[in-house]
Structure 1
Amino acid sequence: MKSEGIKMDDKQLAMEILRLLGGKKNVSSVTHCVTRLRVSVNDTKSIKKNEIQSLKNVLGVNIVGNQLQVVLGGKVVDVYDQFVPLVGKVDSDGVEKNNGNLIDRFLDTLSGIFTPIIPAIVGAGLLKGIMIFLMFYKLVSTSSDLYKFLNIFSDSAFYFLPILLAISTAARFKCNQYIAVAIAGILLHPNLITMMAHSNSLKFIGIPVTNASYSSSVLPIIFGILLMSYVEKWLNKVVPKILRMILVPVLTVLIVAPIVLIVIGPIGTVVGDAIGQGFIQLYLKYGVIAGILFGLAYPYLVIMGMHVGFGPVMVQSLSKYGVDYIMGPTVASNSAEAGATFAVFLKTKNEEFKAIAGAAALNAIIGITEPALFGVTSKLKRPLIAVSAGGAVGGAIAGYFKVTALGMGTGPIAGIPLFLGATFIYFIISSVASFVVAFVLTPIIGFEDIPVKKQDEKVELDEKLVTRIAADQTIDSPVSGDVIQLQDVKDGVFSEKMMGDGIAIQPTRGEVVAPFAGVVSATFATKHAIGLKSYDGCEVLIHVGLDTVKLNGKGFEVLVNKGDSINKGDLLLKFDMKEIRQAGYDIVTPVIITNTDMYEKINKTAKDNINAGEELLNLVAKKK
């Protein structure tokens, strides 16, 4: 249950995640998928996983290799947008230092290459489903212009797959994306296709070039751009700086393109075809066994982040053969996740957790399962057994009837267009069976319900007293000391006002008192900061020291709890200035108005030093 977690907006959540993973210096790259913020770090030992897990709106936390995965569900894009400015100039999808084992590094690389292109593949697959729907109900003829246009729209992402992969692979391996696209374009050039179609003895400076089709291919361009990354780096070292802009692109293409056409392309094509055909044959011969195993294991693969390893196989199969067999058991597992979570929704006595489970079940039945998996079933543990059982039953049905998908995506509901075709009815049966099995088994297996916290009722009651519309207000100083302007604080998060405007104080006394009457809106396990909200709608963060989160509470004593009502002048927090300074930390204390956008003007004291309880800030609210 998250009610005891810290309640905060997207910017505050992003800030806390950044602090608890070790700060900006520990971030090498950041990206996100549908539900997860994915932060690659330099040192996983600096991550405070349990404290991140305790944050409000964090559904789950996983560390795969050197990548921290924070499951945020539908909030992921908003938090990502707030997170990126906090870390500044880091790679959004580039390769980073890999400290994990070989498997972790391999999965990280696959994720970095295939995650960015998924929207294009999903869109193409859905368009194919729409085409089949229109044809099935005779709403369009295959000879019509509309059909031909839709066919072009849905095929383009697959046909030009090498170009999409060139972009994401070049970004991953940190080489020039435009040269990478040029090399992909060589493989798809109409003249090359014509030459290979009319000759079996092509040669490049006397070296035979094997005939191969590179449209819709996967491995040739990935290995080609991997080679290019090394060639480009080498050329940048040996070519004089004054000539690099001209010679490096030309020499890169002249070196890489022939090697791709002569060696890498043919080998990659053979290997890629073998992998795609191998999985197809596996399902054709052992569909039931494969479906059961996949359905059983899939939720655990998602938890470990290993499900990304199937992406390349699915793309290869779809691009070469037009169908995929992995999506069937995957969607069956999603349906089981929805069934188990819905059962929890009906059975739990905790009203707040009931709301979480209900929303998660709805997301899961659509096709977004992470809120259910991380926020409900894996958290309660036993329902995850029902998910595996339901997935195995649905996977067996999908495997037996050879359920095929026309594209990558999710489901069950969101995936309906992907399964339109001869096996569509079996897709429905496998999805329903998975849902029902998990739904029935969950209450039979049982689970330990999340206890109801009495304090939650108090928090809700007190917060109702707080106005939702900011009004003019005076903020007294919460600490005594020397006044420092925010731009002079030696921490970019505060000096650049990323969390809001305000002022800072260099304390002369280790006490923090309430600057107004209101409610304690947030406390932190590390005790270094406290969030307050006044009855007039002002939201304040008092942050004692810089990077003092690393002290893990040493030298701090918090005297209030989240949800407590406070009066002006109440003692909230004590801190040992000597101990904190001896540990090497600056105790300058920023006082931040986190809802700065609600105010027309923030007037700051002109005093050079101030006592706790004296006027520090005067806020002028925007007129409604």
Structure 2
Amino acid sequence: MDHAQLAKDIVRYVGGEENIISLVHCTTRLRFKLKNADLADKSLVSKLTGVIKVKIIAGQFQIVIGTEVNDVYREIMKLTQLENTIKKHNSDEGKVSLFNEAIDIISGIFTPLLGAMAGAGILKGLLIVAVSLGVLTEVDGTYIILHAAADSLFYFLPIHLAYTAARKFGADPHVAVAIAGALFYPDIINAYNQEVHLSFLGIPVALMKYATSVIPIILAIYVTSKLESVLNKVYPKTIKKFFTPLTLIAIMVPLTLLIFGPIGNTASEWLGIGYSFIYESSALVAGVLLGSSWQILVIFGLHWGLVPVALNNLSQFGQDTFTAMITPAIFAQAGAALGVWLKTKSRKIKSIAAPAAIAGLFGVTEPAIYGITLRFKKPFIIGCVAGAIGGAIVGVSGAGSKSVGVPGITTLPIFFGEGFMLFLFGVIISFLLAMIGTYLLGFQEHIENEKGKEIDEGFKSESKKIDDSIVLSPLTGAVISLKDVKDDVFSSEAIGPGVAIVPINGDLHAPFTGSVTSVFPTNHGIGLTSDAGIKVLIHIGIDTVQLDGKFFDMKVHYGERVEQGQLLGTFDLEAITKEGYDITSPVVITNSHQYLDVISGDDENIAAGDRLLTVITQL
């Protein structure tokens, strides 16, 4: 492939450099944002040598190149004066409904904060326990300092949300923070506390408390992003750098105090009233519904849409019963995974079930769901039933969290207070019921087939009886079809055939002996070529390019020789999951056209080093 010529042709056919707003790339594709999409000729770009597919998605003109995308990208940057701007919008595949778009916006705003919220929440919970046990008092200097550390994120939550919302909506984050900061300015706070009547240009201002609020600042920053886009087009280049922020701050701070604050706080009150009506009508029923359905929502990614409910409850009532009622559902899936570990005789399944159960106890249930319970179906159902029972108990207990946190062993202190012992009983019961129920009722193991122990021992004990080449699994986890991957470039096999793995740990191993032919700048993808000539692309997670290398540590470099089983790199599975990213990792053969066929095994769960793909060479 002539990368320079391809770069030149692509720029010409997308309407020229002047039609390009920004360009970024992920592991396989170039992602253009164009001023006028009608100027881009999709048909001509599709016919270029080296282009696999062209897609127009969510306002982006995407060109699928494959493993050589980075080389083409570099040539385009050499050819043009384009700057490698920071991508500010999520690049979802396909058209999305208003509901899905709302879920995406909510997750994009809140998930970057979850890690910090969990840490601060745990500290806040520990302080509550310390005061209750008499270890500290609220007037101790130690308590005052640690409480300030734990509570500052929640008190100044609108400022944090302003930053994440600005990145999601494409606004200037620093302007957004300035707008949010004005809500906490001492003069504004004093006017509120002293009930001073303020007016702006003769219009009365309804002052209110913005600490821990959610909706007002999100509304304000959304409007800010739209206004900023207009101002950048109106102001000349020579002055817009200064006059756009000036105009935004001067307009949006008064508008937030006059309009978005009252509207947002009213919406928050209505949300709180609606939740209270449901909870107070029957806490038991609410617990059953949440306990049984929460993990189903997790599967479809819909759980992110309910994060504002928990935050709003804390803001309106000082505690959140919603988070308490979903906690048994999380522990139940961990218990079901542990039940599978106790029941199965397969060492391979045990090697996956044990770490999946441990991850579940710490609040990360995706490995347990995708790797064990959902694959065997019955354990997942048992877990949902156990979660419903535990949720009912917790609902009746009246327990609630005093802070935000991902439910797990480390965050249990945030629930300390009224109803805590009954809450703890509900959580333990859900865990034990799921574990014992799975063990007693059993499940159908599809893993063991006619090859029996030969499969379970892995490829190392298998004789090579046909002229083929073997690709071992680079990851440990659940194997799924590429068709089930939520990225149609992979699911359509445009890059090549293969499978996807939902990993249960963060170790990436070499699937064969060969060389590293590409390592992507964000370290979430790697290309390898075996000594036999097989080219493999391993892509950790979906859309994880947006993490910009965070949580990934690649230990090998381009051109380096690697041995079968060698540790290529590591990634923080728990952190990536908590950021809201799908951890499903495609493993594909990118030069499959050179072979007769690529055959995947029947294993639904696999350990690193086991036989994953068989490449049938041409005769």
Same fold (TM over 0.5): yes
- Offset at residue 199 of structure 1 (A): 4.4
Answering whether residue 618 of structure 2 is matched by residue 574 of structure 1, we say yes
Distance 2:295 2:119 in 1: 25
- Offset at residue 274 of structure 1 (A): 2.4
What is the DSSP-based 3-state SS (H/G/I as helix, E as strand, rest coil) of the residue aligned with 1:208? strand
Q: Which runs of 5+ in 2 are unaligned?
A: 1-25, 34-45, 47-56, 59-68, 75-83, 464-471, 473-512, 539-559, 569-586, 602-608
| Equivalence for 2:104 | 108
Distance 1:538 1:225 in 2: 44
| Equivalence for 1:151 | 147
Q: Verify the 8 A CA contact 2:118 2:411 in the aligned structure 1.
A: no
2:167 partner amino acid: A
Distance 2:591 2:96 in 1: 26
2:127 partner amino acid: M
Answering whether residue 434 of structure 2 is matched by residue 428 of structure 1, we say no
Q: Verify the 8 A CA contact 1:349 1:449 in the aligned structure 2.
A: no
Q: Verify the 8 A CA contact 1:342 1:358 in the aligned structure 2.
A: yes
Match of 1:556 among 595, 601, 608: 595
Answering whether residue 89 of structure 2 is matched by residue 94 of structure 1, we say yes
Q: Verify the 8 A CA contact 2:128 2:414 in the aligned structure 1.
A: no
| Equivalence for 2:475 | none
Match of 1:24 among 21, 26, 29: 29
Superposition pairs of residues 263-342 of structure 1, within 5 angstroms: 263-342=259-338
Q: Verify the 8 A CA contact 2:343 2:442 in the aligned structure 1.
A: no
Distance 1:360 1:537 in 2: 23
- Offset at residue 147 of structure 1 (A): 1.6
Higher-Rg member (1/2): 1
1:124 partner amino acid: A
| Equivalence for 1:449 | 445
What is the DSSP-based 3-state SS (H/G/I as helix, E as strand, rest coil) of the residue aligned with 2:321? coil
Q: Verify the 8 A CA contact 2:528 2:537 in the aligned structure 1.
A: no
* C-alpha RMSD over aligned residues: 4.2
Q: Verify the 8 A CA contact 1:24 1:86 in the aligned structure 2.
A: no
- Offset at residue 500 of structure 1 (A): 8.0
For residues 561-606 of structure 1, give each alpha carbon's deviation from its aligned partner in whole angstroms, at most 9, with x where no partner exists. 99899xxxxx97339xxxxxxxxxxxxxxxxxxxxxxxxxxxxxxx
| Equivalence for 2:367 | 371
| Equivalence for 2:10 | none
- Offset at residue 331 of structure 1 (A): 1.0
1:122 partner amino acid: A
Worse overlay, 179-188 or 401-410: 401-410
Identity of aligned residues (%): 31
- Offset at residue 96 of structure 1 (A): 4.1
Distance 1:240 1:325 in 2: 52
1:574 partner amino acid: Q
| Equivalence for 1:254 | 250
Match of 1:172 among 151, 163, 168: 168
2:460 partner amino acid: E
What is the DSSP-based 3-state SS (H/G/I as helix, E as strand, rest coil) of the residue aligned with 2:137? coil
Go from structure 1 to structure 2 and tell me whether the alpha carbon gap of 1:363 and 1:159 turns closer, same or farther (over 3 Å shift). same
For normalisation by structure 2, the TM-score amounts to: 0.64
Distance 2:537 2:161 in 1: 45
| Equivalence for 1:233 | 229
Go from structure 1 to structure 2 and tell me whether the alpha carbon gap of 1:218 and 1:460 turns closer, same or farther (over 3 Å shift). same
| Equivalence for 2:410 | 414
- Offset at residue 477 of structure 1 (A): 11
Go from structure 1 to structure 2 and tell me whether the alpha carbon gap of 1:535 and 1:363 turns closer, same or farther (over 3 Å shift). closer
2:162 partner amino acid: A
- Offset at residue 342 of structure 1 (A): 1.1
What is the DSSP-based 3-state SS (H/G/I as helix, E as strand, rest coil) of the residue aligned with 1:574? coil
- Offset at residue 441 of structure 1 (A): 2.5
- Offset at residue 420 of structure 1 (A): 1.5
For residues 138-174 of structure 1, give each alpha carbon's deviation from its aligned partner in whole angstroms, at most 9, with x where no partner exists. 1112221112112212221111011000000000001
Distance 1:258 1:304 in 2: 39
Distance 2:115 2:400 in 1: 20
What is the DSSP-based 3-state SS (H/G/I as helix, E as strand, rest coil) of the residue aligned with 1:183? helix
1:106 partner amino acid: A
| Equivalence for 2:65 | none
Go from structure 1 to structure 2 and tell me whether the alpha carbon gap of 1:492 and 1:148 turns closer, same or farther (over 3 Å shift). closer
| Equivalence for 1:73 | none
2:285 partner amino acid: I
Distance 1:399 1:174 in 2: 40
| Equivalence for 1:605 | none
| Equivalence for 1:59 | none
| Equivalence for 2:459 | 459
Number of aligned residue pairs: give it. 449
Q: Verify the 8 A CA contact 2:389 2:430 in the aligned structure 1.
A: yes
- Offset at residue 23 of structure 1 (A): 1.9
For residues 385-425 of structure 1, give each alpha carbon's deviation from its aligned partner in whole angstroms, at most 9, with x where no partner exists. 10111010000001111121112223341222111112210
Q: Verify the 8 A CA contact 1:339 1:438 in the aligned structure 2.
A: yes
Q: Verify the 8 A CA contact 1:380 1:448 in the aligned structure 2.
A: yes
Go from structure 1 to structure 2 and tell me whether the alpha carbon gap of 1:295 and 1:559 turns closer, same or farther (over 3 Å shift). closer
Go from structure 1 to structure 2 and tell me whether the alpha carbon gap of 1:25 and 1:281 turns closer, same or farther (over 3 Å shift). same
- Offset at residue 201 of structure 1 (A): 3.4
Match of 1:211 among 180, 199, 207: 207
Match of 1:119 among 103, 115, 118: 115
Worse overlay, 149-158 or 242-251: 149-158
Superposition pairs of residues 63-78 of structure 1, within 5 angstroms: none
Q: Verify the 8 A CA contact 2:125 2:402 in the aligned structure 1.
A: yes
Distance 1:105 1:230 in 2: 17
Match of 1:350 among 341, 346, 351: 346
| Equivalence for 1:396 | 392
Superposition pairs of residues 491-506 of structure 1, within 5 angstroms: 499=526
What is the DSSP-based 3-state SS (H/G/I as helix, E as strand, rest coil) of the residue aligned with 2:30? helix
What is the DSSP-based 3-state SS (H/G/I as helix, E as strand, rest coil) of the residue aligned with 1:25? strand
What is the DSSP-based 3-state SS (H/G/I as helix, E as strand, rest coil) of the residue aligned with 1:326? helix
| Equivalence for 1:78 | none
Answering whether residue 185 of structure 2 is matched by residue 193 of structure 1, we say no
Q: Verify the 8 A CA contact 1:129 1:420 in the aligned structure 2.
A: yes
Answering whether residue 157 of structure 2 is matched by residue 161 of structure 1, we say yes
Go from structure 1 to structure 2 and tell me whether the alpha carbon gap of 1:357 and 1:458 turns closer, same or farther (over 3 Å shift). closer
- Offset at residue 137 of structure 1 (A): 1.7
Go from structure 1 to structure 2 and tell me whether the alpha carbon gap of 1:173 and 1:560 turns closer, same or farther (over 3 Å shift). closer
What is the DSSP-based 3-state SS (H/G/I as helix, E as strand, rest coil) of the residue aligned with 1:411? coil
| Equivalence for 2:478 | none
For residues 73-108 of structure 1, give each alpha carbon's deviation from its aligned partner in whole angstroms, at most 9, with x where no partner exists. xxxxxxxxxx99999967566344672111111000
Q: Verify the 8 A CA contact 2:536 2:588 in the aligned structure 1.
A: no
For residues 347-397 of structure 1, give each alpha carbon's deviation from its aligned partner in whole angstroms, at most 9, with x where no partner exists. 112211111011111221232211101111111111111011101000000
Distance 1:165 1:556 in 2: 51
Distance 1:559 1:311 in 2: 43
Q: Verify the 8 A CA contact 1:277 1:317 in the aligned structure 2.
A: no
1:25 partner amino acid: L
Q: Verify the 8 A CA contact 1:173 1:226 in the aligned structure 2.
A: yes
Go from structure 1 to structure 2 and tell me whether the alpha carbon gap of 1:358 and 1:86 turns closer, same or farther (over 3 Å shift). farther
| Equivalence for 2:604 | none
What is the DSSP-based 3-state SS (H/G/I as helix, E as strand, rest coil) of the residue aligned with 2:423? helix
For normalisation by structure 1, the TM-score amounts to: 0.64
Worse overlay, 358-367 or 448-457: 448-457
- Offset at residue 124 of structure 1 (A): 2.4
